């Protein structure tokens, strides 16, 4: 380590001295370039002594780790997509409810469809039953009536607290 640091310091010193002695212009630029290259070689000198035939990665374990990372990435991507779909669907239903003059709360849950893409699967609406909103949820959102739950006041807060 000491000889490596001493080599770097001496190379830098020699490079600086050569730059001072070189005439202005093109010659000084060439000396600077040569000095920079020599300094880079002095810094990288320990890499020349490394054993590059050391333990090699086993291809099988690398492939397994890659697949695990890819699966984690896909899972995170599905969760993020589910959250976005739930949020946008809730906003859509709330907008329809406001157009109908209703004041309610909406909670949408997604499930993976046949292609693996998350789709709205269940809707919980906190508010009194309204036929037009129920038709909208079934026809426009695609959630069947049996998977749409209508809760009024106290039931909503109890249900949301029990799910938390």
Give the model confidence (pLDDT) of 115-125 as tens digits.
888 889 999 99
d(CA 111, CA 16): 68
For tokens 């020349």, what's the residue? 48
pLDDT tens-digit series, residues 70-119: 899 989 998 999 999 999 999 999 999 999 998 889 999 999 888 888 88
- Where exactly are the structural domains of the chain? 2-48, 81-163
For the entire predicted model, the pTM comes to 0.54
Task: Give the integer Cα–Cα distance in Å for 110 and 131.
Answer: 23
81-163, CATH topology level? GMP Synthetase; Chain A, domain 3 (3.30.300)
Three-state DSSP at 58 gives coil
pLDDT tens by residue, 17-27: 888 888 888 88
Which of 143, 151, 147, 154 lies closest to 119, judged by CA? 143
């Amino acid at each position: 380590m000491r000889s490596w640091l001493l080599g770097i310091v001496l190379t830098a010193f020699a490079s600086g001295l050569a730059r001072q002695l070189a005439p202005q212009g093109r010659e000084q630029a060439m000396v600077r370039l040569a000095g920079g290259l020599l300094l880079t070689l002095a810094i990288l000198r320990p890499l020349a002594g490394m054993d590059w035939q050391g333990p090699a990665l086993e291809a099988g374990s690398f492939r397994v780790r890659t697949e695990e990372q890819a699966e984690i990435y896909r899972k995170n991507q599905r969760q993020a997509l589910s959250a976005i779909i739930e949020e946008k669907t809730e906003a859509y239903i709330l907008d329809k409810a406001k157009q109908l003059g209703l004041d309610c709360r909406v909670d949408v849950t997604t499930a993976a469809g046949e292609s693996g893409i998350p789709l709205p699967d269940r809707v919980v609406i906190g508010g009194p039953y309204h036929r037009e909103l129920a038709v909208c949820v079934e026809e426009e959102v695609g959630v069947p009536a049996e998977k749409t739950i209508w809760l009024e006041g106290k039931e909503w807060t109890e249900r949301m607290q029990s799910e938390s």
